[in-house]
Structure 1
Amino acid sequence: MSEASAARWQDDLHLIVDAAKQAGQVALGYFNQAPEVWWKNEGRSPVSAADFAANETLEAVLRAARPDYGWLSEETDDDEQRLSRSTLFIIDPIDGTRAFIGGLNLWCVSVAVVHDGRPVAGVLYAPALNELYEATASSVARKNGEVITVSAPQQGTSRFAIAEDVLAGFPDELRTRIERVKHVPSLAYRIAMVADGRIDGTFVKRNSHDWDLAAADLILERAGGRLVDLAGRDVIYNRPRVSHDELCAASHSELNDLITRTVRR
């Protein structure tokens, strides 16, 4: 990466960190205050007044600062003009809305800058936990200013966030090597837990979206891990279809390979 590109993404990181903090504080004002809730996707997904308020804050700050960037947010109607932009913001104003509504603190604001299909700057801000994760494509990953790295490869069991029905389908010899982690409702935050070494990996069921993944993907990559599809390929963003098939995020390639091979069978 050229010095000019690295400097550009670093500038973008400063911008999105500031925007995420502003949006996080807006959302925090609704937390445990019984915000109004609606249901979308035929009643499968909740969205709250806090999601919309945080989204408005992000849109006001970011689109004014980078009017030439495209825009993709969970809480904004999709505009296919984004497909003509090489660089865009990918936003989830509150990742983990169910947790937010339920009074659990495991939710975060997710903001990424994506260039030519891959994230180049990303931030996850969890205001109820006072945690800020950030990275650029040319920097280390940090949590509250401190460098983070994934867990080291090890013998024995791996701590893995995985659905019980998926784990139940694994062969016995693999199932005994996995210590299942209690469900974490925010997918972005779950991937951040892999990045900072608290867990070794997570399996992502079909139908995650660009906004769930982009910022966390970059943070994990810069911490030494990787998010891949079942063929072992990087996730590509800003396609016409913004949902994804099964994915695996892990601290090292051997663990990714082991899980993806098993699911493919």
Structure 2
Amino acid sequence: MSADSPFDWQSDLELIADAARVAGDIALTFFGQSPEVWWKNEGRSPVSAADYAANKSLEERLRMARPGYGWLSEETDDDPSRLACETLFVVDPIDGTRAFIAGEKTWCVSVAVVHKGRPVAGVLVAPALHEVFAAVVGGAVLKNGAPISVSKPAPDDRLRLATPMDLIDVLEKPYRDRLDRVKHVPSLAYRLAMVADGRIDATLVKQNSHDWDLAAADLILEQAGGSLVDMDGQALSYNRPTVQHGLLCACAASVLPDLLQHMSAAAG
């Protein structure tokens, strides 16, 4: 804890990292075992027995450890009392459920601590890939214990962009021709982590992503030298009455102005 702050975010990071690892181990016992699946949001979103089991473990461990924190999870009914909390946990017990159900390894447990609208500690645990990403505000960002950073493409380099094809199609051809589209990555949180560790240069995020998809990965990307912003270039705010977000851009800092300019021109 720093001398000028009453908050020990490093302690919170250690707490959520341990809880996320346990939840990941629980989810892994269901992986490849054809877990029971239900459909929510009028049949648009799958949820599996593994999601519920991981969520139960996270909620029991974290809420017991920090009873004064609020709670927001994809798999828990939203409690508006969270809005009165300065600090809360923001959780997706399995980000990338479709990949999980299909037997693909690109899914992760996402846990963040959000304080006054911004993440201050974040963890992504990808058990099937044996990867753990962790960050604390003002501190290091690590992948499996080693520092990571975003890519630093030169102005004339081709850009590795992960995004749906329909978003690429709206860009002007000269810019579009500079892009190498990366194969779709089902987990949004993991996709942002790929930007953070430099495997891709940028990703565009369609409308209607949620706080739980983004909060942990947002901090990991920020501490790695990147940005997750809306089309006005503004950082995201979490723990609002609505937890959905509009069109977003995540990329290395050097890529951001040019990408936003071209996206804005296409939208206009």
The bucket for the TM-score relative to the shorter chain is over 0.9
Amino acid at match of 1:159: R
Other-structure match for 2:234:
233
Superposed, which structure 2 residues align to 1:84-123 within 5 Å?
84-123=84-123
CA 1:176/1:12 → structure 2, altered by over 3 Å: closer, same or farther? same
Summarize the Cα distance change of 1:159–1:14 in structure 2 as closer, same or farther, 3 Å threshold.
same
For residue 54 of structure 1, report the CA deviation from its aligned partner.
0.1
1:124 maps onto 2:127 in alignment: no
Q: 1:33 aligns to what?
A: 33
Q: CA RMSD in A?
A: 1.4
The answer to whether the aligner puts 1:261 opposite 2:261 as a matched pair is: no
| CA shift in 2, pair 1:259/1:106, >3 Å | farther
Q: 1:258 deviation in Å?
A: 3.4
The residue matched to 2:129 in structure 1 has which SS? coil
Q: Which amino acid aligns with 2:237?
A: I
Q: Deviations over 1:185-225 (max 9, x none)?
A: 00000000000000001000000000000000000000000
Structure 1 residue 26: Cα displacement: 0.2
Tell me: CA distance 1:85–1:15, structure 2 relative to 1, closer, same or farther (3 Å): same
Read off the aligned partner of 1:27 and give its amino acid letter: A
Cα distance in structure 2, aligned partners of 1:256 and 1:137: 26
**Cross-structure match for 1:211:** 212
Matches of 1:212 and 1:6, distance apart in 2: 28
Letter in 2 for 1:55: N
Local SS of the residue matching 2:13: helix
Q: Does structure 2 conserve the Cα–Cα contact (< 8 Å) formed by 1:110 and 1:125?
A: yes
Alignment match, 2:172: 171
Distance 2:6 2:107 in 1: 29
TM-score (norm 1): 0.97
Alignment partners' CA distance in 2, 1:26 and 1:181: 30
Query: Which residue in the other structure is 1:75 paired with?
Result: 75
TM-score, normalized by length of structure 2?
Answer: 0.96
Unaligned ranges ≥5, structure 2: none
**d(CA) in 2 for partners of 1:91, 1:68:** 16
Size of the alignment, in residue pairs? 265
Residue 42 in 1 paired to residue 42 in 2?
yes
Structure 2 CA distance for aligned equivalents of residues 7 and 14 of structure 1: 14
Q: Secondary structure at the match of 2:14?
A: helix
CA–CA distance in structure 2, aligned partners of residues 145 and 25 of structure 1: 19
For 2:163, the equivalent position in structure 1 comes to: 162
CA contact (8 A) 1:249 1:256 kept: no
User: Residues of 2 paired with 1:259 and 1:94: CA distance?
Assistant: 33
- Write the mapping of 1:135-154 to structure 2, written as runs, cut at 5 A: 135-154=135-154
Q: Distance in 2 between matches of 1:257 and 1:228?
A: 9
Preserved CA contact (<8 Å) 2:37 2:46: yes
Shift of 1:7: 6.1
Residue identity (%): 61
Structure 2 vs 1, CA of residues 83 and 236 (structure 1 numbering), >3 Å: closer, same or farther?
same
Of 6-15 and 52-61, the range deviating more from structure 2: 6-15
> In the alignment, residue 18 of structure 2 is paired with which amino acid?
D
| Shift in Å, 1:264 | 3.2
Q: 1:255 to 1:122 in 2, by over 3 A?
A: farther
What are the superposed Cα offsets for residues 213-252 of structure 1, whole Å, 9 maximum, x if unpaired? 0000000000000000000000000000000000000012
Superposed CA deviations along residues 28-64 of structure 1, whole A, max 9, x for unmatched, are: 0000000000000000000000000000000010000
Hey, what does 2:246 align to over in structure 1? 245
8 Å contact 2:172–2:262 — kept in the other structure?
no
| Structure 1 Cα separation of the partners of residues 196 and 242 of structure 2 | 26
**Is structure 2 residue 198 aligned with structure 1 residue 197?**
yes
Question: Take 1:27 and 1:256, find their aligned partners in 2: how far apart are those partners?
Answer: 37
Deviation at 1:169, TM superposition (A): 1.2
Distance 1:256 1:181 in 2: 16
Larger mean CA deviation between 120-129 and 166-175 belongs to: 166-175
